Chain A
Amino acid sequence: MAKPGKLVEWIDSRLPVFTFLNKELRNYPTPKNLNYFWNFGSLAGITLVIMIVSGIFLAMHYDPNADKAFDSVEYIMRNVNYGWFMRYLHANGASVFFIIVYIHMFRGLYYGSYKAPRELLWILGVVILLLMMATAFMGYVLPWGQMSYWGATVITNLFSVFPFGDDIVQWLWGGFSVDSPTLNRFFVLHYLFPFLIVGVVGLHLIALHQHGSNNPLGIEATKADKIPFHPYYTAKDFFGLGILGLVWSYFIFFDPNFFGEPDNYIPANPLVTPAHIVPEWYFLPFYAILRSIPNKLFGVIAMFGAVGILFFLPWLDRSPVRSARFRPIFKWVFWTFIIDCFILGIVGAHTPDHIYVKLGGLSNQLLGQLTTAYYFAFFFALVPLLGRFEKPRALPTSFCILLALSGPLYATEASTPPSENWSFQGSTGTFDRTDLQHGFQVFQNVCSTCHSLHQLRFRDLAGLGYSPEEIKAIAADHKIPTLNDEGEPTERLALPTDSIPGPYKNEKAARAANNGAFPPDLSLITKARMGGADYVYALLTGYEQTPPREVQLSLGMSYNPIFPGGQIAMLPPLSEGLVTYDDGSKPSVENMAKDVVTFLAWAAEPEMEARKRMGIRVLIYFLVFTALMYFVMKVVWARVR
């Protein structure tokens, strides 16, 4: 084994990479009393790498054009090998990344990691946060759903408060509204910014290694208090990675849309704003601050200020003591600040005129103003004053170990329709094949007279249990417009590779035939509505013959209390015996509704069964890996005391 050693030496004397790695990753002296909160820095780094990798592969299939972006995302979900995995990994990764970074920052705040000599380390961290926010925002625009579009519109309009604001906004858009040029540049910048983040992370690490990690006691660690990074913290970081894998995988495979909004499965529509528009959860506290101030300019300033103030924290806090453990009052102020941030998040998630009945009729507006006031009071009054007047407890001279853990909680408001007992719910649920085929029958006989299903191709029906011959026969019942050899429009029989054609040539024809209403495409309907399958079922079975007296039905409308507003242009679609099931089961309204909803749930997530199967295996893997790493960590750390 002399040869590799020689080669390493040869390289190292010319390009000292190995010396560098040895010094910074292996021998790097690290305080031995770091608790699990110090895991989050390395977890953030790993997450960044995974986000970049998954993003690069997604970008190979994505199409940043307003006409194609939404469909190209669905194309990734349905056609690209493991496309659904990459997209759910990436989409949930954004939330995971922010959870990690927020914990990392609160840890720095609690233990005073921003104080001399680590001011620049902290400031670089805030720069990373800002870049992350910009990246996350632009990434959220790319699927080009309703939330993407209106999020982009609202956020870019923030810049209109500045001098020459309208010109700035037009410049950002590349037009007079958010459109293809905006989408294309956001895509390019969304691809670029992560590499800027990598650069700043490099600086962040250089700054970190200059003086080494802070520690839970906040005192300078002596040489005796330090241990080499490897194997102690490599083992601990890999253990942390196992936990991260478990949490992240759970969301990817079993609740992939937990952090998302149903409205984002509706294609962007510049003419209709969703009823309840909220940013992603990680922006909610800042969004709440924006809304709490009843003046456009000052609201925007306050929102940017809420992040910007972090740059000045090292100089706002003059306390000579770093760790909150030895600051009896700051400790309480800190936890109150955390709670305040959570309440701001809740405020941001609710509509501005929401009233908290359980809190004695407290209005969301007032709660937002109180918590905003506390947010700024923390930085401008409490931190500076405590630095001056608080009497810290006596600092120890040596180390001891303390572990603590807490996780964030996020509340969202949703009106839930009664939940049915679906065959496909739960972590192992699968679609009932009979229900699926019956549901498809109902769709063909009933729904398809008005609704399209254009994300689905005939060949996808193999997932319902149909044979290739049956699929060919089903396809051949449909016609696809094409051109003949003379260039004249004509029609041909559909092939299994064709998308299922809709009943109308275009949206105008659909509206003309339906009293001005547009029957939505049903490919994603159970993902695109709050309540999902339960909502669609409740809607189909929720028609009432006679509306309540106070409801004035417009011409051609039907009354359905499940539908927002109660008036729906769709006539009651199901009636007893509308289809004949070949296995003789009873075509009651309830059965038909259940079957067709099962079918639509499958149409929205044809990958679901494969996803759950893969998820079980991945979770088992991470359980084993985490358990093994736990023992490795214990064995390695047995030598330290």
Chain B
Amino acid sequence: MTDAPSSPTRRDFLMLTTGAVGAAGAACFAWPFLDSMNPAADVLAQSTVDVDLAAIPEGQAITVVWRGKPVFVRHRTVAEIEEARKTPLSNLIDPESDQARVKEKHEPWLIVVGICTHLGCIPTGNKAMESRGQYGGWACPCHGSLYDTSGRVRRGPAPLNLAVPPYIFLTDTVIRIGAEEKAHG
């Protein structure tokens, strides 16, 4: 392109500014469309589920749905708690103590998101009939990951422990899953 004889620098400045303003505008215009694919307001607000623990006998577990995901609520036996607590952290793939994964004074209650941290399958072991694997927790049917009685991964390929969702004890026998997260749930 041949430049006009008068002040090429001012001209360049105008062109560059305009180009930048145009590009910024196009980027801003794209954002609402991309953001529209994020969870909508009502989905975000589906935050809490109340679970009555009184009906779960020791040694058994139930599955509740929270935000479309299965959450395992397990009433652990004394032996199972013992087992989880005496495992040295150095034996773990994702070291985390059992104390950090349950609420104080509510040690029998293990609440974890029931989704294998490998590729998202649902591990077996929550129902009485199902295999819990050699560590007594859960066993993923897809690629063989094993979890212990604290929901910690003990054999891969899963890289992380089963996630602990936010929850609070409303009373000694009722928990609210998701309660800490959103102010107006």
Chain A residues in the interface with B (C-beta under 8 A): 53-54, 57, 60-61, 75, 78-83, 85-86, 231, 238, 457, 459, 462, 467-468, 471-472, 495-497, 621, 624-625, 628-629, 631-632, 635, 638-639
Contacts and interface: CB of A to CB of B under 8 A. Distances in A.
A61 B36 contact: yes
Contact of B17 (A60, A459, A468, A628): A628
B36 A625 contact: no
Interface of B: 1, 4, 11, 14-15, 17-18, 21-22, 25, 28, 31-33, 35-38, 40-43, 45-48, 183-185
Contact of B18 (A457, A467, A495, A628): A628
A497 B46 contact: yes
A631 B21 contact: no
Given A468-B183, A496-B184, A82 B32 contact: yes
A628 B185 contact: no
Contact of B35 (A54, A82, A621): A82
Secondary structure class of chain B's binding surface, majority of residues:
helix
A79 B41 contact: yes
A81 B4 contact: no
Most buried by B among A628, A629, A631: A628
Given A79-B43, A81-B36, A635-B14, 7 more contacts: A60-B37, A61-B40, A86-B36, A628-B17, A631-B18, A632-B14, A632-B18
Given A471-B184, A497-B42, A631 B14 contact: yes
B32 to A, nearest CB: 4
A638 B14 CA distance: 14
16 contacts: A57-B33, A60-B36, A61-B36, A79-B43, A80-B41, A81-B36, A81-B38, A83-B40, A86-B32, A472-B184, A497-B46, A497-B47, A497-B185, A621-B25, A624-B21, A625-B21
A238 B25 CA distance: 13
Contacts of B11: 635
Nearest to A631: B14
B45 A81 contact: no
Nearest to A466: B184
Contact of A457 (B17, B28, B42): B42
A349 to B, nearest CB: 33
Contact of A85 (B4, B32, B42, B184): B32
A496 B18 contact: no
Contacts of B45: 457, 459, 496-497
A83 B39 CA distance: 12
A629 B17 CA distance: 10
Nearest to B185: A496
Residue in B4, B32, B183 with the greatest tally of chain A CB atoms within 10 Å: B32
Contacts of B43: 79
Closest 5 CB pairs of A and B: A468-B184, A82-B32, A79-B40, A628-B18, A81-B35
Contacts of B17: 628
Contacts of B48: 495
